[in-house]
Amino acid sequence: MNKLTLIKIGGNVIDNPDALSRFLTAFASVPGSKLLVHGGGKIATQVAEKLGIETTMIDGRRITDQPMLDVVTMVYGGLVNKQLVARLQALDINAIGMTGADAGTVLAHKRPVNEIDYGLVGDIDEVDSGQIQFFLRQGLTPVFAPITYGKAGELFNTNADTMASAIAVDMVRHNEVTLVYCFEKRGVLADPADDDSVIATLTPDRYAEHKAAGTINKGMIPKLDNAFNAIRNGVMRVIICHADDVAAAVLHGAGTTLTL
């Protein structure tokens, strides 16, 4: 079976020009078929402010009304996505920029309102992995912005970690998939204040222990929930590592590897 490496890069790296350059060089050196899912960083907030559109965040998640959806679609699906594609072309990676709406690849519905109304935020229903595999067979490297679409033709802002996990799970139909979450830390840390306290292997039981102790908290929890969901649903390997170490993580092991 073919091997595919699916890599998700976070907004903090996108916001740092030097870190982003190092990541893209490392990404380009990952052998074989690969796919990139990216977050948006702070650029959408900055553009919204210039347009007089208020940004509301709850627990690190953006409330997305129609004006904000317009902004994130322009910024994530346009500016950020195409900048990444152009820079990968300069590194001899034949990238194709996409959202979930392109070629009908990631279908979603509006998140139901419970305690919080997140607005036009999408929860994923279906991934068309066959269509994505078609692009890979043409020698293309898909670069996905975290925008999905609904059956009525609407667009949704969608969590990039969730999008990476959902695509990875469906791509298992065609490939042995390695999913890598890259960000500004060297992995999952046993002590958030100590960058050297990387947990080399993380199991569900140990994850629960760290959550109970509060050493794994905030934005790392949904990231790890998505990562464990992927490995429970057939993804061969899930790694969380520093953006600079992505090639080393895939080839030799670095950061934190999840196991069941």
Averaged pLDDT score across all residues of the chain: 93
Q: What is the pLDDT of residue 236?
A: 93
Q: If you count DSSP H runs as helices and E runs as strands, how many of each does the chain have, helices first?
A: 10, 14
Please answer whether residues 33 and 4 qualify as being in contact, where contact means their C-beta atoms are separated by less than 8 angstroms: yes
Record the pTM: 0.94
Residue 1 has pLDDT above 80, yes or no: no
Q: What is the pLDDT of residue 226?
A: 86
Candidates 3.40.1160.10, 3.30.413.10, 3.60.40.10, 3.40.50.1580; correct CATH number of 2-258? Answer: 3.40.1160.10
- Rounded Cα–Cα distance for residues 55 and 53 (Å): 7
pLDDT in tens, 18-30: 999 999 999 999 9
Q: Provide mean pLDDT across the span 76-98.
A: 98
- pLDDT category of residue 34 using cuts at 50, 70 and 90: very high
Q: Give, for 157, the enclosing helix (H) or strand (E).
A: strand 155-157
Residue 41 is assigned to a ligand binding site: yes
pLDDT in tens, 123-141: 999 999 999 999 999 999 9
Closest CA to 8 of 133, 127, 163: 163
- pLDDT category of residue 11 using cuts at 50, 70 and 90: confident
Least confident of 78-82, 96-100, 104-108, 253-257: 253-257
Q: What is the pLDDT of residue 28?
A: 97
pLDDT in tens, 179-237: 999 988 899 998 888 888 999 999 999 999 988 888 888 778 888 998 899 999 999 99
- Rounded Cα–Cα distance for residues 122 and 143 (Å): 19
Please answer whether residues 129 and 174 qualify as being in contact, where contact means their C-beta atoms are separated by less than 8 angstroms: yes
Q: What is the pLDDT of residue 219?
A: 77
Alpha carbon 208 to its chain's center: 23
State what percent of residues in the chain have pLDDT above 70.
100
Residue 157 is assigned to a ligand binding site: yes
Q: What is the pLDDT of residue 253?
A: 81
List the domain boundaries for the chain: 2-258
Radius of gyration of the chain (CA): 17
- pLDDT category of residue 58 using cuts at 50, 70 and 90: confident
Phi-psi region for residue 95, left (φ > 0), alpha (ψ -120 to 50) or beta? beta
